[in-house]
């Protein structure tokens, strides 16, 4: 069974290495993306993930976690290069021992875990992703964020 809805964000301190710096931001929605170089679906969807991160990163903390499935997935330079080509410029972590994926109960890649501003799990997608469904959740947060800034 995966991480139940309503659960808190598992700790991220077991990441093997941060390839792009990570600073935890509280009281913000958080989108955590798991992927692997050796997962064809992950690689095909990376540019779409990069576009989405660029669109929402100003008010949603986006984090990308690479989960190596094979030994040749463990090259941090290759991971960083592939991510950069796809436009992934958010915090990027290597989960070399799969501690983070295990804490999140990731069963399929790619995977997205969306948490609200109180760090409660709202939505999970694993395997081939329907970006429109994920963006519908993010658009709700985007609308709430804009409305909060308009209030006197």
Whether 7 is in a domain gets the answer no
The chain-wide mean pLDDT, for the chain, equals 87
Kindly report, residue by residue over 89-99, the tens digit of the pLDDT: 999 999 999 99
Whether 1 is in a domain gets the answer no
Whether 6 is in a domain gets the answer no
Whether 45 is in a domain gets the answer yes
Tell me which residue of 115, 134, 150, 128 sits closest to 44, measured CA to CA.
128
**What is the tally of structural domains in the chain?**
1
Hey, what are 79's tokens?
């991971």
Mean pLDDT in residue range 116-130: 87
User: Domain range spanning residue 49?
Assistant: 17-150
**Omega before residue 110 within 30° of 0, cis:** yes
Q: How many Å apart are CA 82 and CA 10, to the nearest integer?
A: 26
Q: How many Å apart are CA 85 and CA 12, to the nearest integer?
A: 25
| pLDDT band (50, 70, 90) for residue 125 | very high
Q: What is the CATH number of the domain that holds 94?
A: 3.40.30.10
Q: What is the pLDDT of residue 146?
A: 42
Sign for the pseudo-dihedral over CA of 132, 134, 135, 140:
positive
**pTM score:** 0.89
Mean pLDDT in residue range 2-31: 88
Comparing 152 with 59, the larger pLDDT belongs to 59
Q: How many Å apart are CA 77 and CA 100, to the nearest integer?
A: 20
Whether 30 is in a domain gets the answer yes
Whether 31 is in a domain gets the answer yes
Hey, what are 73's tokens?
């997935």
């Amino acid at each position: 069974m995966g991480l139940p809805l309503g659960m808190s964000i598992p700790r991220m301190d077991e990441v093997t290495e941060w390839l792009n710096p990570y600073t935890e931001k509280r009281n913000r929605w958080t989108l955590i993306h798991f992927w692997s170089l050796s997962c064809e679906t992950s690689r095909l969807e990376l540019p779409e993930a990069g576009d989405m991160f660029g669109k929402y990163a100003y008010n949603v903390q986006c984090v990308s976690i690479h989960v190596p499935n094979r030994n040749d997935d463990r090259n941090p330079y290759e991971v960083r290069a592939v991510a950069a080509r796809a436009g992934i410029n958010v915090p990027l972590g290597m989960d070399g021992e799969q501690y983070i994926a295990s804490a999140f109960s990731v069963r399929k890649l790619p995977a997205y875990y969306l948490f609200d501003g109180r760090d409660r799990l709202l939505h999970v997608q694993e395997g081939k992703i329907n970006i429109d469904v994920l963006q519908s959740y993010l658009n709700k947060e985007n609308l709430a964020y804009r409305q909060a800034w308009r209030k006197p």
